[in-house]
Amino acid sequence: MSKKIEKKTILKIEDFSSRIRKNILEMSNEAGANSSHFGGALSIVEIISTLFCHKMRINEDKNWAKRDRFILSKGHSCLAYYAALSEIGYIKKSELKTFEKDGSNLLGHPVANEKLGIDFSNGSLGMGLSLGIGLAISSKKKNLNFNVYVILGDGECNEGSVWEAAMSGAHFKLDNLFAIIDRNNFQQTGTSDEIMSLNNLREKWSSFGWNVLEVDGHNISEILNALSSVISDKPTALIANTIKGKGFSFSENNNNWHHAVMTKSNYEKALEEIENSKKINDRI
């Protein structure tokens, strides 16, 4: 059952998303010849924005025991994560410019860093959900009542360890655990149908005992509604249908942008597209 969400909440999250998208572009440009995982970061912008801007219980204390926990299991999408942490004040804007530079805290996959509010190192696929299960069990045992949000890639669901974790999340009745699957239908070297068919992901998670909801992963009210549709004693999985490279004409559904170098001309084109969309929004 969908709930009415206040328009100002949606606008606030949309605004947050726009800034994240802009910062993804800037960091990708900073990375230069090092390349960056551009496409998979853009597909999770609305998801991560909904979490960090509104849904998650967080405050300025990065170690607050009752804070909701976040794990970016598809660690290569860290551009979106760093941008979100910057928006909530955990990472200085100036530090974003160090992305993938020598000696930086912000590498091409997240490295656990208490000062920056990054709780876990990720990058090797298929590991994040298990960590999340440990956290969710702890939340219940210690009566801290925090939620755990884990973002996984659809390609990541090729990993057997994801399904070990899925099985146990349901077994331990972790209704404080959310797995959000970025269903952009691509993985590194092709579509998921070409590389390894995932078939019906919804049925898969459902048959593992999860409360499953399918949403448009760029529609904030759908994401928010789904995150509120919890069933007691069941973990929740969101199959978020997304567009890899979402937000820029040259990168949308173009898997060459899985990990690519931002050229000057693309950078300028992207800036222009951001400006144009602002103008359209202003008119609306």
Partner 1 sequence: MIEYNEKNIKTWSLVGSRATFGLISLELAKKEKDLMILTSDVSTSAGLDRFRKTFPEKYIDVGIAEQNLIGIAAGLSSEGYKVFTTTFAPFQTMRCCEQIKVNLGYMKKKVNLVGLASGLVLGNLGYTHCCIEDISITRSIPNLTVISPADCVETAKAIESSLEHENSVYIRLTGGQNNPQVYTKDYKFKIGKAIKLLDGDDVAIFCTGTMVKECLIAADILKSKSLNCSVINIHTIKPIDKKIIEEMSNKKKLIVSVEEHSVIGGLGSAISEVKSTIENSPKQLFIGIPDQYKFSGSYKFLKEKYGLEAKSIAKKILNSYKV
Interface residue list for partner 1 (CB under 8 A): 112, 119-121, 123-124, 126-127, 129-139, 141-142, 160-161, 164-165, 167-168, 171
In angstroms, what CA-CA distances link 94 with 89, 106, 126, 137? Answer: 12, 12, 31, 37
Q: Please report, for residues 159, 247, 278, the alpha-carbon distance to residue 272 in angstroms, rounded to integers and kept in the order given.
A: 39, 12, 10
d(CA 108, CA 34) in angstroms, rounded, equals 9
Q: What are the backbone dihedrals phi and psi of residue 215, each rounded to the nearest 5 degrees, phi first?
A: -135, 165
Closest approach of partner 1 to the CB of residue 103, in Å: 17
How far apart are CB 5 and partner 1 at their closest, in Å? 31
Element (H, E) at 181: strand 177-183
Q: What is the DSSP letter of 2?
A: P
CB of 173 to partner 1, least distance (A): 13
- Tell me the C-alpha distance between 115 and 135, whole Å: 20
Given the complex with partner 1, which of 43 and 176 has the nearer CB atom?
Answer: 176
**Rounded to the nearest whole angstrom, what is the least distance from the CB of residue 185 to partner 1 in the complex?**
26
The nearer residue to partner 1, 134 or 190, going by C-beta atoms, is: 134
Closest to partner 1 by CB, 135 vs 237, is: 135
CA dist 210 and 92 (Å) reads 37
Residue with tokens 């000696």: 103
Of 65 and 284, CB closest to partner 1: 65
- CB of 150 vs partner 1, minimal distance in Å: 10
Nearer to partner 1, 45 or 162 (CB): 162
Residue 206 half-sphere exposure, CB side, CA atoms within 13 Å? 8
- Tell me the two tokens of residue 148: 């755990």
Pick the closer one to partner 1 by CB: 64 or 276: 64
Which candidate, 122, 101, 99, 119, places its Cα nearest to that of 110? 122
Q: Rounded to the nearest whole angstrom, what is the least distance from the CB of residue 109 to partner 1 in the complex?
A: 10
Closest CB 133 distance from partner 1, rounded Å: 5
Cβ closer to partner 1: 138 or 276?
138
d(C-alpha 30, C-alpha 73), whole Å: 24
